Amino acid sequence: MIKIVTVCGAGVGSSLMMRLFSQQILDAEGIEANVEASDISSVNPDSYDILITTSDFADALRDSSARIVRIDNMMDKPYLKGQLLETIKNLS
């Protein structure tokens, strides 16, 4: 199963919203994945296949072995969908 984490500064605002949107996209596409939300200071990025975060935090996570999906406009669900599905496609 694919392991995904959404990351923001505190782990209670934008990461929860990105987690909800990501789970909705995955459910609609019939893709099984474990999606969690976390804050930047406590996330262990190498424990996940995909990290979804804003550009503000992406640079801090760039040394991770996980694929990073950068989101600048969290309300742009079509962009998130395209980036997430493309990243999942390229996992193998």
**Interatomic CA distance for residues 87 and 92, integer angstroms:** 10
Q: Which pLDDT score is estimated for 35?
A: 97
Q: What is the pLDDT of residues 7-52, one digit of tens each?
A: 987 656 788 889 999 999 999 999 999 999 998 888 888 899 999 9
pLDDT band at residue 77, thresholds of 50, 70 and 90? very high
Report the predicted TM-score, pTM, of the whole model to 2 decimal places: 0.89
Residue 49: left if φ>0, alpha if ψ -120 to 50, beta else—which one?
alpha
Domains (ranges, CATH) in the chain?
2-90 (3.40.50.2300)
